[in-house]
Structure 1
Amino acid sequence: MPIYMDRHDLNDAITAEHVANIHQEDLKIEHEFGCKGLTYWFDDHRKTAFCLIKAPNKEALIEMHNKAHGAIPNSIIEVDPNIVESFLGRIEDPVKAKNDTLNVIKDPAFRVLMFVDIPLSKLNAGNRESRRTKLRSFHRLLKEQVKSFNGRMVKDSMFSSLISFQSVSDAMSCSLGIQSGFRSLSGNAEAFRLKIGLSSGIPISEREGIFEDTIEMAERLSKVVNGEIVISSEVKELYQSENLNKSIDQNLVRYLNPSDEKFLKIFMDFLDASWNNPSLKVDDFSCSLGLSKSQLYRKIKSITGVSLNLFLKDYRLQMALKLLDRQHGNVSEVAFDTGFNSPAYFSKCFYEAYGVLPSHYVKDHD
């Protein structure tokens, strides 16, 4: 039977005790609708509640809520319980305190997500065994740091990781620890680059996946924005609130203001939808984003550190890497599929970026 998570936007008068009583009302009649309430999260600060419920379909879940207390969910998504647990730490009610007649859960589902990215470069594309040895050492370091700062590993692959934190201070401290340990481990700061993005949010937004908007922003901050550790404006505000307006060392951490975050989202949404179009031009970006060429150039340069043309080429090369890793097709097919007009030009750009021809890269990864 599917498992769903729903979101309830509550008014300011609702307390944790109210939500606990509502949860109990669901449990009393859940059998009538073939449902089983697993647990919930309540955020008193943001006045949101999230229920985790096993149900035959969304309609049964809504009918159960409506009969039990009338609080209809604002949103519902189907979820994988293992993924929910990796983000939030549990998929059932915490053990009730002794002598408590009501199990009041004061546990918000709001999380700070860290995306760690190790982009492939010409200095780490070759010498596969040496690269893997260093990456294994780094991942041991990463797991140690995540454990030390109460993080939860959601996904971990060779060149990227996704980690969930309840505390923004833990997330920031872990980021700094990872970056410092990484420099010591790599020896040469140029041999391996490490980029970290921190974003924050709730499990359900307007998207279908759990924490989808927050994951997307954390990944874009790490992969797109110029800086080793890049944080969202909300993470910055939360960190300073938790630490009595303690200043952030801008030599170590970069943060975007809300207008730059909005631009980044619009820009990357457009790019994600059109990057493989070989006729894509600067004019297309200008028209879509409503900026002149000079405004667009300054904005892109400020956020990414490079020109739009160079950023587009690098983006296409990164997508080509993914296709080659998946054995999507031969080199010529990948060249055309990623927006390059010529396989020869693609091979030239690939070699300049990664220090290896795409044909040799494919053989090395067979």
Structure 2
Amino acid sequence: MPIFMDLHELPNGITAKDIAEMHQEDLKIEHKYNCRGLTYWCDEERQTAFCLMEAPNKQAVIDLHQKAHGAIPQQILEVNEAIVESFLGRIEDPIKSKDASLNIINDPAFRTLMIVKLKHKTLRNTEINTLKAAIRGYTTSIKALTANYNGSLVKQETATFLMSFTSVTDTIHCGLKIRDLHNCVITPDLEFKIGISAGIPITKNDGFFEDTIKTSDCLSDIAKGSFSITTAVMGLYEGENQNKPLTKDTAITVLTNKEEDFIMNLMHYTEGIWSHTAIGVNDFEENLGYSKSKLYRTMMRLVGKSPNMFLRDYRLNKALELLIKQDHNISEVAYQTGFSSPTYFTKCFHKKYGILPSSFISNNQNIV
């Protein structure tokens, strides 16, 4: 049977005790709707609650809640049991609550998510074996550090890591330790990019933690600097540490809400047009609503690249992904990633990675 998580936006004055009582009312009649309540999360501070249950469909969830106590959820999302557990740490009631008659659970589903990406600066032949060994070593260390800071490694794809934490402080301290790995080990042809944001599992979008993942991904992908966080994360960190701010020597970039919006809009637009050969800087100016000079200044300040260089590098990263899969030849990759010709693509690829695409393919370099 499918598993659903729903979101309840709580009116003022509703407490964890009230939510526990409502949950008990659900359990009393759940059999009538062929449902089974698994657990719930309650966040009095943010006035949200989330129920997790097995049900035949979304309508059964609505009908059960409406009959039991009248509190109809604002959002319902079908979820994967393993994914829920990896983000939130459980899919059933905490052990300490199981024997309580009312089973009050004041446990927020709010999480801080960190994405770490290891990226290649170059792919020169003489350094391939060194890079492979370095990536393996980093992977082992990142997994260990995540566990040491009470985090959960939700997902790993080659050299991209997604982690979930309850504490913002743990998240940032873990990120600093991960960044130190790069500073302590000499691997000049790899760079670390870290992005951190925080949020709830269900919003108006369809994915589980979709908004928060997208934000962390954008920060770790295109934001200038090696370590970027949102203003909201900075505020939460200060709240956990008696208003003590991060020291300047951490070299963490804190984006304002306006800067975060720009980064997100830039990435959203780029994802839709990067493969189109005819797209140029003028299209960015028009669609982002910036003049040529303002767009250039904003890009250099927040991304560290001009619009032209940003689009070129984005396309080259996509091209590298295709070459690693080895499903297409060089000409196909060039045109699929928006380059005007295979010759120009080869020139740009060699300039960025220090190796010709043909040599990369022939050497069968299956790395990140």
TM-score normalised over the length of structure 1: 0.95
CA distance in 1 between partners of 2:338 and 2:99 (Å): 65
CA distance in 2 between partners of 1:365 and 1:60 (Å): 51
Change (3 A) 1:3 1:291: same
Partner of 1:234: 232
CA distance in 2 between partners of 1:125 and 1:10 (Å): 58
Look up the SS of the partner of 2:328 in the other structure: coil
Instruction: Give how far 1:218 is off.
Output: 0.4
Residues 1:199 and 2:197 aligned together: yes
Partner of 1:170: 170
Count of matched residue positions in the alignment of Structure 1 and Structure 2: 364
Identity of aligned residues (%): 46
Q: Is the 8 A contact 1:197 1:220 kept in 2?
A: yes
Q: Is the 8 A contact 2:97 2:104 kept in 1?
A: no
CA distance in 1 between partners of 2:360 and 2:51 (Å): 47
Partner of 1:356: 355
Instruction: Give how far 1:327 is off.
Output: 3.2
Look up the SS of the partner of 1:31 in the other structure: helix
Partner of 2:318: 319
| Structure 2 counterparts to residues 92-241 of structure 1, below 5 A | 92-97=92-97, 100-122=100-122, 127-184=127-184, 186-188=185-187, 190-241=188-239
Unaligned regions of 5+ residues in structure 2, if any?
none
| Structure 2 counterparts to residues 335-346 of structure 1, below 5 A | 335-346=334-345
Instruction: Give how far 1:31 is off.
Output: 1.1
Look up the SS of the partner of 1:316 in the other structure: helix
Instruction: Give how far 1:98 is off.
Output: 7.9
Partner of 1:333: 332
Partner of 2:91: 91
Structure 1 residues 195-219: Cα deviation after superposition (integer angstroms, max 9, x where no partner): 1110100001121110111111101
Change (3 A) 1:267 1:97: closer
Instruction: Give how far 1:158 is off.
Output: 2.8
Partner of 1:23: 23
Partner of 1:280: 279
Instruction: Give how far 1:301 is off.
Output: 0.9
Q: Is the 8 A contact 2:230 2:254 kept in 1?
A: yes
Look up the SS of the partner of 1:193 in the other structure: strand
Unaligned regions of 5+ residues in structure 1, if any?
none
Change (3 A) 1:73 1:161: same
CA distance in 1 between partners of 2:209 and 2:72 (Å): 21
CA distance in 2 between partners of 1:257 and 1:139 (Å): 31
Look up the SS of the partner of 2:190 in the other structure: coil
Change (3 A) 1:362 1:31: farther
Instruction: Give how far 1:147 is off.
Output: 1.2
Look up the SS of the partner of 1:333 in the other structure: helix
CA distance in 2 between partners of 1:226 and 1:325 (Å): 26
Q: Is the 8 A contact 1:236 1:255 kept in 2?
A: yes
Partner of 1:66: 66
Change (3 A) 1:99 1:202: closer
Q: Is the 8 A contact 1:124 1:192 kept in 2?
A: no
Q: Is the 8 A contact 1:43 1:107 kept in 2?
A: yes
Change (3 A) 1:99 1:57: closer
